[in-house]
Amino acid sequence: MLDPKLIRDQPEKVRKMIRDRAVKFDFDNMIELDKKRRDLIKETDELRKKRNQMSISVAKAKKSNEDVTPMLEEMSDISTVLNELEENQKTVEVDYTHLAFSIPNMIHESVPIGPDESSNIEIRKWGTIPNFDFDVKGHEEIAEKLDLLDIQRASKTAGARFYYLKGDLVKLAYALTAFASEFLSEKGYKLIQPPYMINRKSMEGAVIADDFEDVIYKIHNEDLYLIGTSEHAIASMYLDEILDGKSLPDRFGSISPCFRKEAGAHGKDQKGIFRVHQFEKFEQFVFTKPEDSDNEQEKMITNSEEFFQKLGIPHRVILLSSGDMGKVSAKTYDVEAWMPGQNSYREICSISNCLDYQSRRLKIRYRDKTNEETQYIHTLNGTLVAVERTIVAIIENFQTNDGHIKVPDVLQKYLGKDKI
């Protein structure tokens, strides 16, 4: 949600954002509805005031034994008009609120402007792409031959984009989360395990409602949705609260399963476990003051890079263009890991600064002193490790000529071996 003052006072700035994001949004209708709702609020307030004044006059007239019939008739007419206006106001409010919760976030000044991923900017690279002296295999072929992955049986059980991890791949998944937990704890992040289901009000605070159908799973006949990432649950943790500014920044590290429909991914990444409906992810989430959010995002991207450097996985950092990043984010970095089986870099982490977009929706504010005006907080979210995608990167980068997988040095203590 954007600042209503920005929409009213600088509409051209908002129009430019919509153009730069290359999205469709009926901004003219939003402005018109905003004017209507404000006019209706003014009109209904005036009528209520008039009716209240007449009610006082009627009471006085009755004490004086005056005929109050004309005044009562006028009050009845006012009430009829007021009821009609209030019903109209409710309709306008619903339409306006839908647009207010659907308009994308403003774009950070450092974001490259462009319609799609072709305008993304590579910031830096790390690591040497492995040079194998044998035919490179994809992760699914290696894992299935080692009896560590079963996609065929999972498709019978649950459908496409599901899987069974088996044996040492289960241990590898646990090793990644254990390492991530220790890594973020050492960085001063507070560990948290969020609810895996949240209500619509909370979900709408974190996600644009129009994206629900393509992304989020709903629990039938209940006001509950499966989280697509722990960001959704953590963002709404302080719903309707005023935080103490002295407690900020408030940094969390969260492990959770994630559930996504991936409706927009038809035909993409159909093999293996790179793009699936259910996966585990260790998330970074930060609540901070507006003046600190840029610096917090840089710390978060540094954390993600350092994590993959410790794993020894070659990667690069990409700054997403205005047309490629999500609508909730004002600025997004992606970390892309080298995937030898695909001979390309693929997204493995995403770190976003949402400014006050989510906090306005969730009404999360802060102040340093009790007598100060409250301000909306800034929220940031970022992947530390998406477990299944990282397993893909490990299998493909650490494959051996005999069909096995080397275990990254930092994970060997968790598995008790150096090779799978």
**What angle, 0 to 180 degrees and rounded to 10, lies between the N-to-C axes of helices 293-311 and 168-186?**
140
How confident is the model at residue 265, as a pLDDT?
57
Round to whole Å and give the CA distance between 81 and 376. 38
SS3 of residue 52 by DSSP: helix
CA atoms within 13 A on the CB side of 374: 14
- Minimal CA–CA distance to 254: which of 236, 271, 274, 268? 236
Report CA Rg, the chain: 27
CA terminus-to-terminus distance, the chain = 48
Cα angle 176-177-182, degrees, rounded to a multiple of 5: 100
Token duo for residue 313 = 């996985």
Q: What are the backbone angles phi and psi of residue 176, rounded to the nearest 5°?
A: -65, -40
Helix or strand (DSSP H, E) at 141: helix 139-145
Token duo for residue 28 = 């003219």
In the chain (420 residues long), the average pLDDT of successive 10-residue segments reads 94 97 95 93 88 84 83 84 89 93 96 96 96 94 96 93 95 97 96 96 89 84 95 96 96 96 65 92 97 98 98 98 96 98 95 98 94 95 96 97 96 96
How confident is the model at residue 264, as a pLDDT?
53
Round to whole Å and give the CA distance between 155 and 162. 6
Round to whole Å and give the CA distance between 223 and 201. 9
Pairing of strands 250-259, 190-192: parallel
**Cβ count within 10 A of residue 73:** 10
Residue 369, burial from CB neighbour count under 10 angstroms (0-12, 13-18, 19+):
exposed
Q: What are the backbone angles phi and psi of residue 197, rounded to the nearest 5°?
A: -130, 140
Round to whole Å and give the CA distance between 106 and 108. 7
CA atoms within 13 A on the CB side of 282: 25
Helix or strand (DSSP H, E) at 81: helix 69-100
Helix or strand (DSSP H, E) at 283: strand 278-288
The CB-based long-range contact list for 157-161 (8 Å cut-off, 24+ gap) reads 158/277, 160/270, 161/262, 161/270, 161/275, 161/276, 161/277
Round to whole Å and give the CA distance between 218 and 113. 35
How confident is the model at residue 65, as a pLDDT?
83
Q: What domains are defined for the chain? A: 26-100 (1.10.287.40), 117-415 (3.30.930.10)
Name the maximum alpha-carbon separation found in the chain.
Answer: 107
- Minimal CA–CA distance to 284: which of 363, 236, 350, 358? 350
Tens digits of per-residue pLDDT, 33-84? 999 999 999 988 888 888 888 888 888 888 888 887 888 888 888 888 888 8
**Cβ count within 10 A of residue 110:** 10
Tens digits of per-residue pLDDT, 145-172? 999 999 999 999 999 999 999 999 999 9
How confident is the model at residue 49, as a pLDDT?
86
* Amino acid code (one letter) for 3: D
How confident is the model at residue 267, as a pLDDT?
61
How confident is the model at residue 51, as a pLDDT?
85
Token duo for residue 49 = 């005031």
What is the sign, positive or negative, of the torsion defined by CA atoms of 345, 300, 358, 118?
Answer: negative
Close Cβ partners of 111 (under 8 Å, ≥ 6 residues apart):
319, 320, 321, 322, 325, 330, 331
